[in-house]
Structures are given as C-alpha cells and as structure tokens.
C-alpha cells in the first residue's frame, strides 16, 4: 500500500477500535491493534526505509555550555566513524563550532544502504557524565546533546511551494568568523508556514548549497507530517499502542564507570572508547530487536 492507502486504513482501524462491538471482543482488539502498530511503523519509517540510502543527522549542544558542545562533537565523530565502517558517505551541510573546538550545532547528510533504519533510534537527548577537559578540580559534570535523525526527503516526497519559502544568501564563514568565501554562496531558507529555518554553507557552489538546504527542509517537513499523522487520534488508542517522547533522555554515557546505558531498553554496554570510535553495532542491533 502507498502512503495514502495506509492513512486510509489507519483511519478505518481507529474507527473499528472505538466500535462497542469490537471492544467486547478481546481477540478482535488484539488483531486490530497488531495491524494498527504495523501500519504506524510503515508510516513512521516512510517509503523504502529498509534500504534507505539517505538520512539527515542533526546534533545540537544542550545543557552544559562548552562541555556540551565538546560532547556534541564526540557524538558526531562516533556516528561518522560508524558510517565509515559501513561504507556510507558523509557530507557536512552546516556547522557552528564553539570556542573550545566543539559543535554548538552540526548537520550532516549520511548516504548508504539502510542508513536511516540503523540510525533512526538515535533520535533523542543524550547525556554524558565525565570530568571535562577544562575542569581543574576533577569534578564530574553532566551535560547533554540532542540528536535528530531524519529520512532524506526528495522533491517527490514533499511539495514545497515557492510562495512558502524565503531564501537568503550570505558569505560562508569558518571557525572564529573567518570568511571561507568572498561571495555569497551560503544559503538560508525560511519556511514561512511552519517557521522552520535550514542552512547550508559547506559547498563553494550557491546552487549546490541551495539544493542541499531544500533537501534538509523537505526532510524536516516530512518528519513533521509523519509525526502529525501519528499523533492523530492518539488519545483513543493510547492503551493499545502507546507512544514515546523524543525529548526524554534516551542514553547516558558514564565515563567514570566506563558504561553506556540506553534507558529505553534498560541495557548497558562497556568500553566507551570503542563505542565512541564507531563500534556501535551491538547498540544498534539491540535497539532494532526491541522496536
């Protein structure tokens, strides 16, 4: 079934689950709930996600100042090393470095077979507990960074009307405000109906940056639409289906105990240096098996 058919069937199932005749039949409720969960998963994953060759990765520093930015960069390097081991391609679309060399924010595109399916469970708030490089008293600090993994959307997936966007061009700049380019090749796109803003400045080509920014915008709009679809009639089916909050802390990296804990599956792994070096297979496979 295509997306329109899935949405139609989803509405039919929602109505059925509210039917008094169905509510009196436990087996029927179970059967319909299983089908509902399967359709929700298909809608959430989007088209062809079993072999999706493109995903947008967004990482932003959270609570913790400079240490949070350093942790954000550590997470970015963990994902890029994992991607390299998988033979995937990584391209930075936008980045904002901190004074200490971390990332206030970084957006990258990762392309490779199954990239989105393998990384989608990384979305959420990641927490680190460690002694910062700048901490002279040896005290452990807690910092956070948020991760968002979006399926790369194309023009056929999401329509963006020209009248709904405002495009700005500016000079690309590197760390410390250095001009990377003397001409206005960087692109910032405002989506007026939603207030979303995306930026691309890594290419020396204005056209290339514009294309990359539009891809990023479509990906964000696609996910927003999917989340809106998932939320529809949520109250009526909460007991059967349930939901997860992306804003919750999903994982803690405790350096003093050399332990990574994923709070969603209540599992822990040791050897943080190995995981941060890109050896994420055990974590990815465990999360995939618990979906």
> DSSP labels for 122-135?
G-EEEEEEE--TT-
Among the ranges given (140-144, 154-158, 259-263), the one the predictor scored with the smallest mean pLDDT? 154-158
CA distances, 65 to each of 251, 258, 280 (Å)? 19, 23, 26
pLDDT score for 175 = 43
Task: Round the average pLDDT of the chain to a whole number and report it.
Answer: 82
Rounded to whole angstroms, the Cα distance separating 155 from 173 reads 29
For the chain, percent of residues with pLDDT exceeding 90: 41
Structure tokens at 203: 């290419």
Among the ranges given (118-122, 239-243, 283-287), the one the predictor scored with the smallest mean pLDDT? 239-243
Question: Given the DSSP bridges, would you call strands 186-191 and 103-111 parallel, antiparallel or unpaired?
Answer: unpaired
- What domains are there in the chain, each with its CATH number? 3-41 (no CATH), 49-152+248-275 (3.30.70.1660), 162-231 (3.30.160.20)
Flag whether pLDDT at 245 surpasses 50.
Answer: no
Task: Decide: 39 and 13 in contact? Cβ < 8 Å.
Answer: yes
pLDDT score for 236 = 38
pLDDT score for 231 = 64
Rounded to whole angstroms, the Cα distance separating 126 from 290 reads 19
Pick from 105, 124, 120, 90: nearest CA to 219: 120
Instruction: For the chain, give the number of residues.
Output: 291
Average pLDDT over residues 142-166: 83
Provide the 10 A C-beta neighbour count for residue 51. Answer: 11
Tens digit of pLDDT for each residue in 249-284?
Answer: 899 999 999 999 999 999 999 999 999 999 999 999
Pick from 143, 129, 100, 121: nearest CA to 44: 121
Among the ranges given (100-109, 131-140, 182-191, 245-254), the one the predictor scored with the smallest mean pLDDT? 245-254
Rounded to whole angstroms, the Cα distance separating 40 from 18 reads 17
Pick from 246, 287, 250, 244: nearest CA to 127: 250
Local confidence band at 157 (pLDDT 50, 70, 90 cut-offs): low
Tens digit of pLDDT for each residue in 35-45?
Answer: 877 787 777 65
């Amino acid at each position: 079934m295509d997306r329109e058919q899935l949405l139609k069937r989803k509405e039919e199932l929602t109505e059925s689950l509210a039917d008094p005749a169905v509510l009196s039949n436990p087996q029927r409720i179970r059967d319909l709930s299983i089908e509902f969960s399967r359709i929700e998963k298909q809608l959430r994953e989007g088209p062809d996600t079993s072999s999706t060759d493109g995903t947008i990765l967004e990482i932003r520093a959270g609570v913790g100042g400079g240490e949070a930015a350093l942790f954000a960069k550590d997470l970015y390097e963990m994902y890029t090393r994992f991607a390299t081991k998988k033979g995937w391609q990584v391209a930075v679309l936008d980045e904002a470095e901190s004074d200490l060399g971390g990332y206030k924010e970084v957006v990258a595109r990762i392309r490779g077979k199954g990239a989105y399916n393998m990384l989608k469970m990384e979305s959420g708030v990641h927490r680190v507990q460690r002694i910062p490089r700048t901490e002279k008293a040896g005290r452990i600090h807690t910092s956070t960074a948020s991760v968002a993994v979006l399926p790369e959307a194309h023009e056929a997936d999401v329509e963006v009307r020209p009248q709904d966007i405002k495009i700005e061009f500016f000079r690309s700049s590197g760390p410390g405000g250095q001009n990377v380019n003397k001409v206005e090749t960087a692109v910032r796109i405002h989506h007026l109906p939603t207030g979303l803003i995306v930026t691309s400045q890594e290419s020396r080509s204005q056209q290339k940056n514009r294309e990359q920014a539009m891809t990023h915008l479509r990906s964000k709009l696609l996910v927003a639409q999917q989340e809106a679809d998932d939320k529809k009639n949520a109250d009526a089916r909460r007991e059967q289906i349930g939901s997860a909050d992306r804003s919750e802390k999903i994982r803690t990296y405790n350096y003093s105990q050399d332990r990574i804990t994923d709070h969603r599956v209540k599992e822990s792994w040791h050897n943080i240096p190995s995981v941060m070096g890109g050896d994420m297979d055990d974590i990815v496979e465990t999360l995939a098996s618990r979906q």
